[in-house]
Structure 1
Amino acid sequence: MGAAELADEVGFEKVSVSALARRFGVKDASLYSHVRGLEELRTRLALHAGGELIDEIAEAVAGRAGKDALVAFAGAYRAYALRHPGRYAATQIRIDQALIADSAALRRTAEITYGMLRAYGLREPDLTDAVRLLRSTFHGYCVLESTGGFGADRSVQASWDKAVDALHLALTHWPRETNGHD
């Protein structure tokens, strides 16, 4: 997908119909027969990148459970975010709920993520809370790493490994919801 390559080269925020048209050497109007505008272009890019990301995660976690699955999941997530910064940024945009329901890749993301977390014995509403913890931890770490936000002498990989170990402990000892309410 040309927009995905462009996003990795120039940054997701700089992806536009005009920039993509220039990349292909066509007039902007030529692309409007394929996309209605910037919002649709970015949404398609987000869905495409989300599909790529979950494919890599699924391959990494296949046949694993518990901590092994978490380590594989986290590693695949981080590798994708660092290798494809523009595509990864696209996966963070808010997408219309109707499009999410129609997206096989996004349904697969939920299935794989929730499946991994069920190995920790989590059920709703704890599953949702755990997903939010993992996503915010992985995302924050990847953003800080990609922008040079870790200045200490300690290895960034060693800190990542400790963070994933800490997440495993948190998931193993998750404070279970007892009454289904806050």
Structure 2
Amino acid sequence: MSPRPKIALDKQTIVIAAAQLANEQGSDRVTLALLAKKLNIKPPSLYNHFNGLPGLKRELALFSLEKLYNELEAEALEKSPGEESVLAITDAYLAFARENPGLYEFALSAPDPSDEKVNHAREKIVTLVLSKIKPFHFSDVEAIHAVRGLRSLMHGFASLEQKGGFGMPFDINESYRLAVQTFFRGMKKSG
């Protein structure tokens, strides 16, 4: 048997390979054995970088949340706070879910809900959206309710689309745009 070629692996390289694996095969199919096979290494080598599968999943959650935040921020950056920037965020969110179906699942959950780094990454996303809805003049409590509602709309749509829940022959992007615009009309009335 010929020896495996030596590959210089670092944590980031492994996480990127795991993210690709998640996107190709689904988040539930990411295992140390499958990842090691993809990297052409032996599974025990991964323990040099992660505390087993839970450690890898934690890193994937962090990676996905940071990637999602960066994409949302990039789309909203050049827009004025308010409807225009929040629309850009909603479009970027759906694009992220479409382009990264497995990684998107890791953005939604983490192995340890009390993990400070993961929670900080989530809070950055919430803070970004809160900063963009300021022109609606919500109270602090109303703003959190608005962000939760917007997140529910975006996630619900992305999840239904991923599961093939939109079978009618109508433009899915138009449906999404109308749902978001309807949400904004409601926000304006209550803001």
Relative to the length of structure 1, the TM-score reads 0.88
User: Hey, what does 2:178 align to over in structure 1?
Assistant: 162
Per the alignment, in what secondary structure is the counterpart of residue 91 of structure 1? helix
Query: Corresponding residue for 1:97?
Result: 114
Q: What is the number of equivalent residue pairs in this alignment? A: 174
Query: Which of 10, 18, 32 lines up with 1:3 in the alignment?
Result: 18
> Any gaps of 5 or more consecutive residues in structure 2?
1-15
Contact 2:62 2:118 in 1 (8 A): no
- Contact 1:144/1:150, CA 8 A, preserved across alignment: yes
**Segments ≥4 residues shifted beyond 6 Å:** none
Q: 2:150 aligns with which of 134, 147, 155?
A: 134
Q: CA deviation at 1:137?
A: 0.8
* Distance (Å, rounded) in 2 between the aligned partners of 1:171 and 1:34: 45
- The structure with the largest alpha-carbon Rg is 2
8 Å CA contact retained: 1:70, 1:168: no
Matched ranges for 1:1-182 at <5 A: 1-64=16-79, 65-94=81-110, 95-100=112-117, 103=120, 105-174=121-190
Displacement after TM superposition at 1:34 (Å): 0.5
Root-mean-square deviation (CA, aligned residues, Å) is 1.7
Distance 1:23-1:56 versus aligned 2 partners, 3 A rule:
same
Counterpart residue type for residue 113 of structure 2: D
User: What SS does structure 2 have at the residue aligned with 1:35?
Assistant: coil
Deviates more, 1:14-23 or 1:123-132: 123-132
Identity percentage of aligned residues? 28
The 2-side partners of 1:124 and 1:39 are apart by 35
Which stretches in structure 1 are left out of the alignment for 5+ residues?
A: 177-182
Structure 2 Cα separation of the partners of residues 120 and 34 of structure 1: 45
What is the CA distance between 1:101 and its match in structure 2?
6.7
Given that residues 100 and 107 in structure 1 are in contact (C-alpha distance below 8 angstroms), is that contact kept between their aligned partners in structure 2? no
Shift of the alpha carbon at 1:106? 3.3
